[in-house]
Chains A and B, each alone.
Chain A
Amino acid sequence: MRFWCSTLEDPWSWSFRAYPGVWLATLLLVVPYLISQFRKQGQEPGHKKKLTQFLLGSLAFWVASDWPLGLLGASYLAFAHMIQFMLYTLVAAPLLLLGTPEWMATRALQKIRLHRLSCTLSKPVTAGLIFNLMLVLTHSPWAVDTLRSNQFGSFAMDFLWLLCGLLVWLPIISPLPEHRMRSYPGKIVYLFLAMGVVPAIPAGFMTFASFPLYAIYELAPRVHNIGATTDQQLAGLIMKLGGIPIIWGSIVVIMMRWSEQSGKDEINADSCDPQLRVESDQ
């Protein structure tokens, strides 16, 4: 039995394989959250929504890490590896952040004494640079072939993806206001640059490469006769297009909030104008 999904030489089969490390990691995510929610006196407004978001984020983490997707991504198919990456960084990470209440985030960061560091790292330029550096490094053939070949390396890669996923979303949806960017146009530009531009480069390499880049996926026993080149092209397309609905969806939501805010500001400005107030009184 293995602790975490990593490269196997056996042919792919749909027979279940247990990875206790994945279950343990998921429990370490969910159980402390539920305990602290239970201990908290007095429910906050939107408590149920936050709970649902956190549990959905944990579910995405578990689906991305465990059999079958975890094993397919660690050993057989480059496109499964890419779906994993998308789930960690674009689904699990933002849902976990959205589901974390402010008091819990403050308490957790104070406990592990990382509040100041989190403030430094959540600066948009820093967060964007770290995320994209991680993206390029963890998709290099050397990193994938080396880390995926053993379970500790594979665990490190998955953990890094989740951590950098959380980091890149901090300036947009952090539970702590000191992490969040205030300017709406700034948020839009950040999302576009940090998550929409750089991934297109490795995605382009994967889609248009004449040969498979990663040895582990090229030389893995084939799954349903999917060729190594086709698999890599699919991975490139997922990387290039898979994030679009989430990133552009988030941009649309930010624009709507921006327009709502502008409307409110205009009303407030109007109500403050003495001439208008006199006119309305008459």
Chain B
Amino acid sequence: MRRPVYFTRSHTGGVAQLVERFGRIEEARGSIPLTSTHGSCFRHLFSMTNQKWQIFASLMVLSLLLVSCENQKSNQKFEGLEIDLPSAMPELELTDTNGRAFNLRADTTGMVRLVYFGFTECPDICPIHLAQLRDVLELPQSPKNVVVLFITVDPERDTPQVLRSYLDRFDSEFVGLSGSKVDLEAAQLAFGALVAAPEYPIEGKYTYGHDGRVFAFAPDDMGYTQYPHPTRQTSWAHDLPLLAQYRKTKL
């Protein structure tokens, strides 16, 4: 069977031919020993065919791209998911656990807002996120101007009392918010969250598939970053002081 032509064509490139000649001359002079591995590697590298050169160049470009992406990542300010086009905090009004109207933007002016859509019967993500936030906010180095806004996606079961007692298990400062189904869907859409939908019941209890992200807004009302599940405490502890001061640095 005949081998493809490009396998038989060696040393066709101009550089490769020069290197080949250079190698032979140097070998003849004795400056490169005939058995030298360095010499053979050197020659091997520069005696590649055009196609090999193309592959080599492509790999180099790819590596450079990867390195630049890595650098870009290391230049990120936040450890959360940074948003290319920061969005403004939606101007919405919901009901808090005391039954009072709560304006998400106006009632939290000058604070870092961590907005999360969940429900009290959530078996996994919600309690983990809330416990993580409780632990991080208890740290002495954590900024004081942080408010956690927990917006329920299950208004039927999450009555104000249920919501309050659930949040008190984590931190009595966490704000629980509810509203009509329509208002809550509108709120999820306004934040760019996936709208929660009921799932098949597990052990007789129905659950909701909902967005697992915590939407973070700096005191300048802009959302620069989001935190999916799982986010480690070290990431929160890194980002919260930055978010808290973000307005100052921007001004």
Contacts and interface: CB of A to CB of B under 8 A. Distances in A.
Contact of B233 (A11, A222, A228): A228
Contacts, number: 43
A interface SS class: loop
A228 B127 CA distance: 12
Nearest to A229: B135
Interface string A233-275: 0000000000000000000000000000000000000000000
B123 A221 contact: yes
Contacts of A218: 132, 232-233
B54 to A, nearest CB: 39
A227 B229 CA distance: 17
Interface in B103-132: 123-124, 127-128, 131-132
Nearest to A215: B232
B123 A228 contact: no
A10 B122 CA distance: 11
Contact of B131 (A11, A215, A222): A222
A210 interface: yes
B237 interface: yes
Interface in A201-234: 210-212, 215, 218-222, 225, 227-229
A11 B229 CA distance: 15
Given A211-B237, A215-B232, A219-B230, A227 B127 contact: no
Given A11-B123, A218-B232, A221-B123, A210 B139 contact: yes
Nearest to A11: B123
A9 interface: yes
A205 to B, nearest CB: 15
Contacts of A225: 127, 131, 169
Contacts of A229: 135, 233
A219 B128 contact: yes
Interface in A1-51: 9-11
B124 A9 contact: yes
Contacts of B132: 218-219, 228
Given A210-B139, A211-B237, A221-B124, A227 B131 contact: yes
Given A221-B123, A225-B127, 10 more contacts: A9-B124, A11-B123, A210-B237, A219-B132, A219-B229, A219-B232, A222-B131, A225-B169, A227-B131, A229-B233
30 contacts: A9-B124, A10-B123, A10-B124, A11-B124, A210-B139, A210-B237, A211-B233, A211-B234, A211-B237, A212-B232, A215-B230, A215-B232, A218-B233, A219-B128, A219-B132, A219-B230, A219-B232, A221-B123, A221-B124, A222-B127, A222-B128, A222-B131, A225-B131, A225-B169, A227-B131, A227-B134, A227-B135, A228-B132, A228-B135, A229-B233
Q: Which 10 pairs between the two chains have the least Cβ-Cβ distance?
A: A219-B230, A11-B123, A211-B233, A221-B124, A211-B234, A229-B135, A227-B135, A222-B131, A222-B127, A11-B124
Interface of A: 9-11, 210-212, 215, 218-222, 225, 227-229
